[in-house]
Amino acid sequence: MPERARPSPWIAYPTAVLAVADGEIRKLVHDPSELFSRALQPAIWLILFGEVMARVRGLASDTGDYLAFLAPGVLA
């Protein structure tokens, strides 16, 4: 039996992205309250890690605020 040819990455990648997006949209349509929790979770991470870890003496540095360092990564 001959092996099937792999699709081009230019076709396979967008197809995979659309499949994941479709699954996530279906989840949100099924349970709209999940949108609230997805919006709230980054704020919780910023409060927990940003404020708590900023007070840990071993992590202190002269380069700036830990929360300012953490926020772009959490919100991305």
Tokens standing for 59?
Answer: 């992590």
Distance CA 71, CA 43 (A): 9
pLDDT tens, position by position, 15-68: 999 999 999 999 999 999 999 998 898 888 888 877 777 777 666 566 667 777
Q: Is the pLDDT of residue 4 over 90?
A: no
| Domain spans, the chain | 49-76
Give residues with Cβ within 8 angstroms of 12, minimum separation 6: 6
Q: What pLDDT, on a 0 to 100 scale, did the predictor assign at position 62?
A: 64
User: Rounded mean pLDDT of 10-19?
Assistant: 94
User: What 3 state SS string does 2-30 have?
Assistant: CCCCCCCHHHHHHHHHHHHHHHHHHHHHH
